[in-house]
Amino acid sequence: MKVAILAGGHGVRFGVETQLRPKALIDVAGKPILRRVMEIYSAQGLKDFVIALGYRGEDIKRYFFETMWLEGNVAIDMAARSVRSHPDHCGDWNISLIDTGIHTATGTRLAKLAPHIDGDCFMLTWCDGLADINLASLLSFHRAHGRIATLTAVNRPGRFGEISMENDAVTRFDEKPLRRRKWINGAFFVLNRGIFEYLDGPHVDWETEVLPRLVATRQLMGYRHAGFWQCMDTSQDRDELVELLFRGKGPGICGGHTQ
């Protein structure tokens, strides 16, 4: 099963930090946030990634290229002028890095990944949130309800927009939170290929256009995740996330492998 990750945004809330690197490569306790997101999936058997690039996408390409050579053993045959890498610590990931445009809307970014996603079902997330989510349980929930889309709903208070659900069906998004602990959109989506019919148009925004259309057609369900979840919208979020990871909180291997 493919895992699509949107990693093309500008990360403007990080200020000068994202003038130097894309948000996806911001360091979180020794690893780029993008890599930590990918490790959530790979730890549970999902290792086939399709990553949508945009702002400073060449930096992300360079990171993976250099990682392949620098994190494993390298054999150099001087006579043959050849170099072979043995990336013992890089895992067995398959990564497609797809340029989707610098100013492309999120829904349109996903649409541009369609030719690179096979199968009837795939997973989608952003490059700025970590969770100890059980992906096998998430996938089972998605397959059982038979709708086009599942989002992961998490309990968080404060600045986040809230969602309402009835019998796990998402019925409404409220972007003016009431400052109490409610369910919010934690990303970590599972999608059927029918989602691409919702992505028509040159500038389609995922949150303001696609998700409301899914709600209107009763095709969006919410998987309730009560465990660890932390986003990284700002530098303060990053600092909190680093502290949590150093305290032993955060994603680990949850459940069995997905199929």
Integer Cα distance of 33 and 39 in angstroms: 10
Lowest mean pLDDT among 3-12, 83-92, 205-214, 241-250: 83-92
pLDDT at 255: 43
Within a domain: 51: yes
pLDDT at 97: 98
**Which of 96, 121, 177, 127 is CA-nearest to residue 9?**
127
Within a domain: 183: yes
**Which of 200, 198, 201 is CA-nearest to residue 214?**
198
Q: What is the mean pLDDT of the chain?
A: 90
Token pair 């349109």: residue: 108
Within a domain: 63: yes
Indicate the number of domains in the chain.
1
pLDDT at 251: 74
Q: How confident is the model at residue 247 (pLDDT cuts 50, 70, 90)?
A: confident
Integer Cα distance of 250 and 248 in angstroms: 7
More confident call, 222 vs 254: 222
Q: Which two tokens stand for residue 111?
A: 């649409």
Cβ atoms 116, 96 nearer than 8 A: yes
Cβ atoms 37, 127 nearer than 8 A: yes
Integer Cα distance of 126 and 135 in angstroms: 15
Where do runs of H (alpha helix) occur along the chain? 17-20, 33-42, 57-70, 106-113, 135-145, 211-216, 235-246
In this predicted model, what pLDDT tens digit does every residue of 195-239 receive, in sequence order? 999 999 899 999 999 999 999 999 999 999 999 999 998 899 999
pLDDT at 6: 98
Residue 136 has pLDDT above 90, yes or no: yes
Task: Supply φ then ψ for residue 139, to 5 degrees.
Answer: -65, -40
pLDDT at 177: 55
Where do runs of H (alpha helix) occur along 168-229? 211-216
Contacts of 223 by beta carbon, 8 Å cutoff, 6+ apart: 137, 138, 141, 142, 150, 151, 152, 153, 168, 190
More confident call, 30 vs 145: 145
Within a domain: 255: no
CA separation (Å) from 190 to 9, 136, 241? 21, 11, 24
In this predicted model, what pLDDT tens digit does every residue of 18-55 receive, in sequence order? 999 999 999 999 899 999 999 999 999 999 999 999 99
In this predicted model, what pLDDT tens digit does every residue of 48-103 receive, in sequence order? 999 999 999 999 999 998 887 777 778 889 999 887 776 655 568 999 999 999 99
Q: How confident is the model at residue 253 (pLDDT cuts 50, 70, 90)?
A: very low
**Which of 133, 150, 163, 162 is CA-nearest to residue 195?**
150
Cβ atoms 2, 11 nearer than 8 A: no
Q: Which two tokens stand for residue 31?
A: 């690893």
Task: Supply φ then ψ for residue 23, to 5 degrees.
Answer: -55, -35
Within a domain: 251: no
Cβ atoms 258, 136 nearer than 8 A: yes
3-state secondary structure of 160: coil
Structural domain range at position 223: 2-246
Lowest mean pLDDT among 57-66, 122-131, 248-257: 248-257
Within a domain: 199: yes
In this predicted model, what pLDDT tens digit does every residue of 153-187 receive, in sequence order? 998 765 677 899 999 999 999 866 555 558 999 99
- Mean pLDDT throughout 143-159? 89
Within a domain: 256: no
Cβ atoms 172, 204 nearer than 8 A: no
Integer Cα distance of 109 and 204 in angstroms: 9
Within a domain: 258: no
Look up the CATH number of the domain holding residue 185.
3.90.550.10
